Amino acid sequence: MTYRPDPDRYDRMTYRRCGVSGLKLPAVSLGLWHNFGEDTPHETKRAICQTAFDHGITHFDLANNYGPPPGSAETAFGEILRTDFAGYRDELVISSKAGYHMWSGPYGEWGSRKNLIASCDQSLRRMGLDYVDIFYSHRFDPDTPLEETMGALDSIVRSGKALYVGISSYNSESTRKAAAILKELGTPCVIHQPSYNILNRWVEHDGLKDTLQDLGIGSIAFTPLAQGMLTKKYLGGIPEGSRATQGKSLAREKITDSAIKSIRKLNDIAEARGQTLAQMAIAWVLRGGGITTALIGASKPSQVVDCAGAVGNLEFSAEELAQIDAVSQEEDINLWARSSNGE
């Protein structure tokens, strides 16, 4: 059946300005890291994307290596762009990234000009696009001059292959340096993509969150649900089929008794607010306007509906925030710390 987007979709979502740029992003964005590879039926991918767009989620985040196998998420999304989303390109903000291992040999990863420009071309071919809206350096490269990596991003914009550029998992210090180089080149750094959630607050300790506000750079917080830990899912054990059973990025060992104890208390706070825990976790990331958008993932459409509903209550009282701090402790779940540590 031909997909027709819900005509009320833009009334359901809140849009927030990305830093000081002209670009507005939905408060909740959808990432295609998991559940968009060849191990997931295409109908599920279509249903997730359709539900997202029907709820006003206009921003879809990809990377060269999303799959499995790497590249297959972009290929699947390209198919959706050609079918369900045909005619809606100008209503969508599509991003991709390069930096993690993608192909063999010395040019298939990190931050060289050689890697970034070739990778962007490959991503465009897989998605069947002339340009992406945002192209990112996916991780900090300690061995390539920052001038080269930022110069490649600038070239990608100047050659019409991306409209905006961003960086991901760079710490506060390298963000300041990268932003200064990009400014000098005339291609501003519009967005930063860090991991951030109630159980992983490195952006606060590092000063990155303040730096981004200081520099007028927007932000998109990935893993706002701590890969699913900040939902009710694991409160009664580890359900079959959940991410923690898949042997991918969420190790079973991360679901510790002490984590569950604090997640249970967080769930009580969410219930008292009239929200699901997922909704409260998203609202928490967005609190005070410091983060532009929360970048979720989903394995089924109902999760997208639940997460999009976070915009129903983005406000917190000082007491609620204090309660959240009191019952939660940080967990060892930041898999991207090497990049922000400059390694």
Ligand X SMILES: NC(=O)c1ccc[n+]([C@@H]2O[C@H](COP(=O)([O-])OP(=O)(O)OC[C@H]3O[C@@H](n4cnc5c(N)ncnc54)[C@H](OP(=O)(O)O)[C@@H]3O)[C@@H](O)[C@H]2O)c1
Residues forming contacts to ligand X in the complex (CB under 6 A) are: 31-35, 61, 138, 168-169, 193, 222-228, 231, 233, 242-243, 278, 295-299, 303, 306-307, 336
- DSSP letter for 254, please: G
User: Tokens in use for 249?
Assistant: 């990025």
Contact 58, 30 (CB under 8 A): no
Q: Helix and strand tally (H, E) in the chain?
A: 13, 10
| Shortest Cβ 307–ligand X spacing (Å) | 5
Q: What is the DSSP pairing of strand 28-31 with strand 162-168?
A: unpaired
- Cβ-defined contacts of 316-321 (< 8 Å, 24+): 316/283, 316/284, 316/287, 320/269, 320/273, 321/287
| Shortest Cβ 145–ligand X spacing (Å) | 22
Residue 110 or 184 having the CB closest to ligand X: 110
| Shortest Cβ 304–ligand X spacing (Å) | 7
Residue 170 or 316 having the CB closest to ligand X: 170
| Shortest Cβ 1–ligand X spacing (Å) | 26
Cα gap 245→249, rounded to integer Å = 10
User: Tokens in use for 343?
Assistant: 């390694």
| Shortest Cβ 115–ligand X spacing (Å) | 16
Cα gap 51→75, rounded to integer Å = 19
| Shortest Cβ 72–ligand X spacing (Å) | 14
Q: What is the DSSP pairing of strand 59-61 with strand 15-17?
A: unpaired
Residue 14 or 319 having the CB closest to ligand X: 14
Residue 31 or 188 having the CB closest to ligand X: 31
Q: What is the DSSP pairing of strand 15-17 with strand 24-26?
A: antiparallel
| Shortest Cβ 243–ligand X spacing (Å) | 4
Give the list of residues 6+ apart from residue 90 with CB closer than 8 angstroms, or none.
Answer: none
Residue 38 or 184 having the CB closest to ligand X: 38
Residue 141 or 158 having the CB closest to ligand X: 141
Residue 112 or 168 having the CB closest to ligand X: 168
- As beta bridge partners, residue 93 has 59
Cα gap 343→339, rounded to integer Å = 5
